[in-house]
Amino acid sequence: MLATFWSRDFLLNRSFLWLLFLVNLAGTIYGYIWYEDQLLATFNNHPLWQIVFVPDSPTASLFFTVSLLYLLFPPQKPYRLSMIGRSLIEALAVVCSVKYGIWAVAMIVAGAWQGADLYWQHYMLIASHLGMAFEALLFFRFMKAGAAALAVAAGWLLLNDTVDYTFGVFPYLADELDDDLSAVCIFTFALSILSFGAAMFIWRFRKQV
């Protein structure tokens, strides 16, 4: 019975895909609203080009939301350029969702471990970010992205990490983690590499559909 919920027929059912699309779209919009203060602060105090590196999780969710559209409306006559674009978006959806899904949960837990207060929003964020990572890995077997696209996506993650911790535009952390910034930085870079490794592992052994 449980296997039904993992099956291709269930996961690619259009009604389920539309539900997942709407949930992810709503989460993406909420995520950008969540980053509103930091986006404004970056706009006012940093070069404009750094803004794109600020909203990590909602951008990952945006990539996955667009990837769902490819499953809902598969191109009938895909051209090479459009296939490359699709592969890059799907690769970014997978590695970014895994990385930032786990990263956000780890930062919330680490802050709480050191005494930060937890509110209902934190538990909601934990559930939604774990869902981000899980759904990306679950649906990767239905995507077209390959090793080259995953490598490009990993490069984007490492570039994002470099900009975040060089110019101070990383996501806001609990005050309790301010004295652990070096450890957070190392963890963030390591998680980018691990997320790429997880995606490559699934790509290597996924079913071709």
pLDDT single digits (tens) 16-57: 999 999 999 999 999 999 999 999 999 999 999 999 999 999
> In terms of pLDDT, which residue wins out, 205 or 103?
103
- Which domain does 64 fall in, by range? 2-205
Distance CA 94, CA 13 (A): 20
To 5 degrees, how large is the angle CA 135–CA 136–CA 137? 95
Which amino acid would we find at residue 103?
A: W
Distance CA 127, CA 50 (A): 29
To 5 degrees, how large is the angle CA 95–CA 34–CA 58? 20
Q: What is the pLDDT of residues 111-124, one digit of tens each?
A: 999 988 889 899 99
- pTM of the full predicted structure? 0.93
Task: Band the pLDDT of 209: cuts 50, 70, 90.
Answer: very low
Provide the pLDDT for residue 80: 81
Distance CA 145, CA 96 (A): 14
- Structural domain tally of the chain? 1
Three-state DSSP class for residue 199: helix
